[in-house]
Structure 1
Amino acid sequence: MADRDRPQPHQLQVHPQQQYRQEVGGKPLHTQKGPTTSQIIAVVTLLPVTGTLLCLAGITLVGTLIGLAVATPLLVIFSPILVPAVILIGGATTAFLTSGAFGLTGLSSLSWVLSSFRQSTGKEPLEYAKQRMQEATIQVGEKTKQVGETIKSKAQEGGRETAGRT
């Protein structure tokens, strides 16, 4: 029986003679007051600004609707002229942008090819081109010399045959 009278450590004891006070942000709830002076000044300052902006938004909306109401008949009347003009301007703009995109793609591709060429050969493109031209010139010279010798030998053979007939 003595164990039942003693409170257990995990049990909650409620004492009705003490009032439960709720706290918010470390301050007791019943001591909180209305808005502060700075909050009131902010609201008083922002109300006219907000009202003015809302009035301007409304005036802009009404002006837009009036302009649309006036412009709609004009768009219908001039649509045989405006539609081809819009198509022409749209096509020209698309062509211009496509041309620029192709140009940038070509330049970036050329840049990539040159950089990969430099990395693979270790030479500059102009140096490589000069070397290839020298090699090609030497090959053409050798080929020309061979063809000349062939022509000379055939001419000599042809000359012997004609000399032997006479």
Structure 2
Amino acid sequence: MADQQNSLRRPTSTASFIQKLRQHAPNSTQLVGLATLVISGGILLLLTGLTLTATVLGLIFLVPIILISSPIWVPLGTLLFIAIAGFLSFFGFGVAAAAAVSWLYRYFRGFHPPGSDRVDYARTRMADTASHVKDYAVEYSGYLHGKVKDAAPGA
């Protein structure tokens, strides 16, 4: 009798495993999500394989044609590349020039566009440097003039 009571109180290891499994069992939403993931993953894997197969077969059949007609394609590709690069460069430089003119217009109108403080600082530094060079030249011009007379006393 005591054995029966102990067995009723303590679940067996199989029963406890099944009970834990039921507690962690996924619900129907999770099962549908898993099924969707498996199906879409399989479809994408199939499409990847088909794409790779078609690419390899296309290269196998088209490489001889490309090699035979390469004397036509190489100059044509080069010409096309140069034309497209020139076109994009032309419009790129045009946009850059328009932006520069717009910035200069705003700067000279006094609207202080971004970066105008750096331009003002550079302008004052150049003016200060020119002033220092001028002062230095005036100060030492007499010294150099005297040295020239020493080098050529008859001059």
Change (3 A) 1:46 1:111: closer
Cα drift, residue 62 of structure 1:
0.6
How far apart, CA to CA, are the structure 2 residues paired with 1:51 and 1:85?
42
1:74 aligns to 2:68 (yes or no): no
CA distance in 2, matches of 1:96, 1:85: 16
Say which of 47, 51, 73 aligns to 1:56.
47
Question: Of the candidates 27, 30, 38, which is equivalent to residue 39 of structure 1?
Answer: 30
Question: What is the aligned counterpart of 1:92 among 83, 98, 103?
Answer: 83
- Aligned-partner Cα distance in 2 for 1:79–1:111: 47
**Deviation of residue 117 (structure 1)?**
2.0
Query: Taking structure 1 as reference, are residues 106 and 45 closer, same or farther at Cα in structure 2, changes over 3 Å only?
Result: closer
| 3-state SS in 1 of match to 2:26 | coil
* 2: CA distance, partners of 1:72 / 1:99: 35
Give the secondary-structure state (helix, strand or coil) at the position aligned to 1:34.
coil
Stretches of structure 1 lacking an aligned partner (at least 5 in a row): 1-29, 121-166
TM-score norm. by structure 2 comes to 0.52
Offset of residue 34 of structure 1: 3.0
Whichever residue aligns with residue 57 of structure 1, its letter is T
Please say if 1:104 is aligned against 2:86.
no
Higher Rg of the two aligned structures: 1
Q: Which residue does 2:109 correspond to in 1?
A: 118
1:114 corresponds to which letter in structure 2?
A: Y
Percent identity, please: 35
TM-score of the superposition, structure 1-length normalised? Answer: 0.49
3-state DSSP of counterpart to 1:119: coil
- What per-residue deviation string (whole Å, max 9, x for no partner) do you get for residues 142-166 of structure 1? xxxxxxxxxxxxxxxxxxxxxxxxx
1:72 aligns to what SS in structure 2? helix
Of Structure 1 and Structure 2, which has the larger fraction of its residues in helix? 2
Residue by residue, what CA displacement relative to the aligned partner does 1:23-45 show, whole Å, maximum 9, x if unpaired? xxxxxxx8443333322222233
Alignment partners' CA distance in 2, 1:81 and 1:36:
64
Gaps in structure 2 of 5+ consecutive residues? 1-18, 112-155
Q: Tell me by how many angstroms 1:113 deviates.
A: 2.1
The CA RMSD over aligned residues, in Å, is 2.1
Distance in 1 separating the partners of 2:86 and 2:101: 22
